[in-house]
Each structure stands twice: as C-alpha cells, then as structure tokens.
C-alpha cells in the first residue's frame, strides 16, 4: 500500500509541475513540518534538514543533512537518489546555482532555510498554494490510511481511559498511550493533555501534575499510519461527573454535531466554524469561541497533524469531496474549565463520513 500511495503522489506532483510549467520543484521538510517532503519522497524524516528536488520529467533527489538519515532513507525511500555531504545547504545552493535559467518552484517557502533560498534569489517561485491543494485533496488510498489511523486513535483512547487514575502524573499517562501505539506498529503520534478544574485554560505537553478526584482530563490523540494522521479529542472525569460538568459537555456535543452536519462539498471552512460557534452564542457563551479562549474549531488532517484548512469563521476555503478534517469545538467553559471533543471525518458528497467511533460521552473513571 505505501508503495502504491507514493507512486500515486509522485505522479500528481509531476503533473503539478507540468501544469505550471515548472522544470523542477524543491520541497523542504523536517520532523516537525514533514508533509511536503513525505508527499514527494515518502521519506519520514526524523532528524535534521531534508530537501527533495523533483524534476518534472526526471528523477527525484533527496538532500539530507544527517548521515544516519541518509542511511535510513536508503531503506525507507527507495527510488530516491540520496545526497548527504558536509554543508548540505551549501551543496544544494550550488546545485541550484547551476540550474539558473530553468523554472524552479519551492514549498513551503516560509520555512526554506536562508542558505538555500538566499542563494537562489528570486529564481524560486512559491509553489505553496498549489501544493497545499494537493495535500488537502485526498485519494481513496490516502483516505484509507487516515481511516486506519482513526481506528488506532479509538484504540489509543481506550488505553488512555484505562491509564487515567488518581495519583498518576500526566507524563505517566502519556507514556502508557505512546507505548501502546508502538506495540501496534504505529511509529508516530501527536498528543497533548490537560488536567484539573476551572483553572485549566487549554492543553499542553504532559507535566508532573498528578491526577486528582474531580479532575477533568482532556486529550487529543493523533496517531500516524503510513504517514497519515487522524485525531480524536475526548474529555473524562476522575470520579462521577458533576451536574455542571455534564451540562457543559452537552453543549460541546451539540456544537460538534452542528459542525459535522454542515460538512459537505461546497461548504466553506467558515461555515463549519459558524455552525459550531452558533451553539455557544445561543447560550450566551460566544466569547469562548474567540482566540482568547480557543485556537481553531477544527482543521485538515493528512500527512501533517494540523493541515489546511483551519476551521475558522474567516477562512473561506471551500470543502471538496475527499478532504479529511477534524471538527472540534474545544474551548474553555466558564463553569467547569477546558473541555475537548472532536471526531475525524471525510468530506463525502452526501455529508461527512465520520472515521472515529469512540462514543461522544463525558467519560468517568474510578476516583
């Protein structure tokens, strides 16, 4: 499956080059922003800088900073010519210098190191928007990978629920989940957590705080299968939920379901966000949908954890069939604290195909 996916994506990139008249495309990646590089080369970079230079009508060359990564690429990125030399940025810059006179595009420009972009001067065209459209629009092979990642997310949340108990630190809880993903052959996950009461305003990497009876414990799990991420957001209570916690959680269920109900080809990212936020506004809680209390109301999913489009009221990107997104009205609630709830979904012609199957409940674990 990964081989077929890689070939499919490479053909799309070559077609993109031909359609824009680019002779070659330069793509940058690192372990944080890995999606552009993975799309082109299928190489899951973990350390240092990586660049892929793809010729519209020719080969694919990987320039890697780390010699260990170069050796790993010889196994994990078959078909790529691998270049790894001391001063790889200067090596690549010299290569680009020799390519003057050809039309060369690059993505993502905002992260392109100065040693490369500065040497190329104005010769590099920004391929970002065109490339982002490739990243957003998934094929059925890509959707299948996201679907499998969603099943992994559901299984991971089961482990999270079992691991959450009073006295355990946040980082011990996360350790159990990460070890579970590894045991299932899942090599990557993005995960943040929050625990406590009304004082909690968001999620963060795990700290040393110990869980206590009455805590709301929030998490978003984002496991990766064949390079594709799916996400789930859920909230649990240590001990029985209070009346206030249950009432507050009901609002998030309504909000997420209102957002999902609006998911269809042609709807904009803004429309989804509006539907989610209207539920809060109707209860006089509109303030809690602003960036003072929350970041986004969902986002795209794919080869990156937090892809375009961001679900925000000022983002007019239209949804198209085959996009994969998460709808999550995560925000602070003034009565009980920070609550999260989110499901991954595919945009289908007749509405959303929801990929995550964990019940939309405020879970309770023994205190």
The residue (of 109 and 267) whose beta carbon lies closer to other proteins is: 109
d(CA 157, CA 358): 8
Q: Do the beta carbons of residue 203 and residue 194 sit within 8 Å? A: yes
Q: Roughly what angle, to the nearest 10 degrees, separates helices 140-163 and 170-183?
A: 140
Q: Hey, what are 153's tokens?
A: 């997310």
What minimum distance in Å lies between the beta carbon of 187 and other proteins? 5
The residue (of 85 and 361) whose beta carbon lies closer to other proteins is: 85
Give pairs for 189-192: CB < 8 Å, separation 24+.
Answer: 189/156, 189/221, 189/222, 189/223, 189/224, 190/220, 190/222, 190/229, 190/305, 191/219, 191/220, 191/221, 191/222, 192/219, 192/220
What minimum distance in Å lies between the beta carbon of 93 and other proteins? 8
What minimum distance in Å lies between the beta carbon of 264 and other proteins? 29
The residue (of 116 and 263) whose beta carbon lies closer to other proteins is: 116
What minimum distance in Å lies between the beta carbon of 265 and other proteins? 29
Q: Are strands 188-196 and 228-229 parallel, antiparallel or unpaired?
A: unpaired
What minimum distance in Å lies between the beta carbon of 68 and other proteins? 7
Task: Please tell me the total number of residues recorded for the chain in this structure.
Answer: 367
What minimum distance in Å lies between the beta carbon of 84 and other proteins? 6
The residue (of 144 and 353) whose beta carbon lies closer to other proteins is: 144
What minimum distance in Å lies between the beta carbon of 94 and other proteins? 13
The residue (of 235 and 330) whose beta carbon lies closer to other proteins is: 330
How many other CB atoms are found less than 10 A from the CB of residue 36? 29
**Strands of 153-212, DSSP E:** 188-196
Binding site for other proteins (CB under 8 A): 30-33, 44, 46-49, 65-68, 71-72, 74-76, 84-87, 89-90, 109-118, 169, 171-172, 174-176, 178-180, 182-192, 201-202, 204-208, 224, 226, 291-295, 305
d(CA 267, CA 271): 6
What minimum distance in Å lies between the beta carbon of 349 and other proteins? 32
Phi, psi of 190 (to 5 degrees): -115, 130
The residue (of 45 and 136) whose beta carbon lies closer to other proteins is: 45
**Which residues, other chains included, contact 28 with Cβ-Cβ below 8 Å and sequence gap of 6+?**
36, 37, 49, 50, 51, 106, 107, 108, 111, 112, 113, 116
Give pairs for 77-82: CB < 8 Å, separation 24+.
Answer: 77/41, 77/42, 77/43, 80/41, 80/43, 80/52
What minimum distance in Å lies between the beta carbon of 32 and other proteins? 5
The residue (of 229 and 274) whose beta carbon lies closer to other proteins is: 229
Which value, in Å, is the radius of gyration of the alpha carbons in the chain?
22
The residue (of 188 and 343) whose beta carbon lies closer to other proteins is: 188
The residue (of 178 and 343) whose beta carbon lies closer to other proteins is: 178
d(CA 67, CA 255): 49
């Amino acid at each position: 499956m990964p081989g077929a996916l890689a070939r499919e994506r490479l053909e799309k990139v070559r077609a993109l080059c031909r359609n824009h008249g680019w002779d070659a495309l330069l793509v940058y990646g690192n372990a944080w922003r890995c999606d552009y590089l993975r799309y082109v080369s299928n190489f899951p970079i973990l350390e240092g800088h990586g660049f892929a230079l793809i010729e519209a009508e020719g080969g694919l060359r990987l320039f890697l900073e780390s010699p260990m990564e170069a050796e790993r690429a010889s196994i994990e990125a078959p078909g790529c010519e691998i270049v790894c030399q001391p001063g790889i940025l200067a090596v690549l810059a010299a290569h680009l210098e020799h390519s003057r006179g050809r039309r060369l595009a690059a993505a993502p420009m905002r992260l392109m190191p100065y040693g490369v972009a500065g040497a190329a001067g104005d010769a590099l065209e920004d391929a970002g928007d065109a490339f982002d459209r490739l990243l957003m629009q998934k094929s059925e092979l890509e959707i299948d990978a996201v679907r499998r990642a969603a099943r992994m997310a559901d299984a991971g949340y089961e482990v999270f629920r079992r691991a959450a108990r009073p006295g355990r630190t946040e980082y011990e809880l996360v350790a159990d989940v990460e070890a579970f993903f590894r045991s299932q052959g899942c090599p990557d996950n993005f995960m943040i957590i929050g625990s406590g009461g009304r004082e909690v305003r968001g999620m963060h990497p795990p700290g040393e705080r110990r869980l206590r009876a009455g805590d709301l414990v929030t998490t978003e799990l984002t496991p990766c299968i064949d390079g594709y991420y799916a996400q789930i957001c859920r909230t649990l209570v240590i001990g029985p939920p209070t009346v206030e916690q249950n009432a507050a959680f009901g609002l998030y269920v309504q909000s997420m379901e209102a957002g999902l109900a609006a998911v269809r080809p042609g709807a904009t990212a803004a429309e989804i966000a509006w539907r989610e936020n209207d539920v809060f506004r109707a209860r006089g809680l509109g303030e809690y949908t602003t960036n003072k209390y929350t970041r986004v109301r969902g986002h795209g999913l794919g080869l990156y954890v937090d892809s375009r489009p961001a679900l925000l009221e000022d983002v007019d990107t239209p949804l198209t069939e085959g996009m994969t997104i998460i709808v999550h009205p995560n925000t602070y609630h003034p009565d009980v604290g920070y609550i999260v709830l989110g499901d991954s979904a595919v945009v289908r012609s007749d509405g959303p195909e929801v990929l995550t199957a964990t019940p939309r409940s405020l879970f309770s674990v023994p205190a």
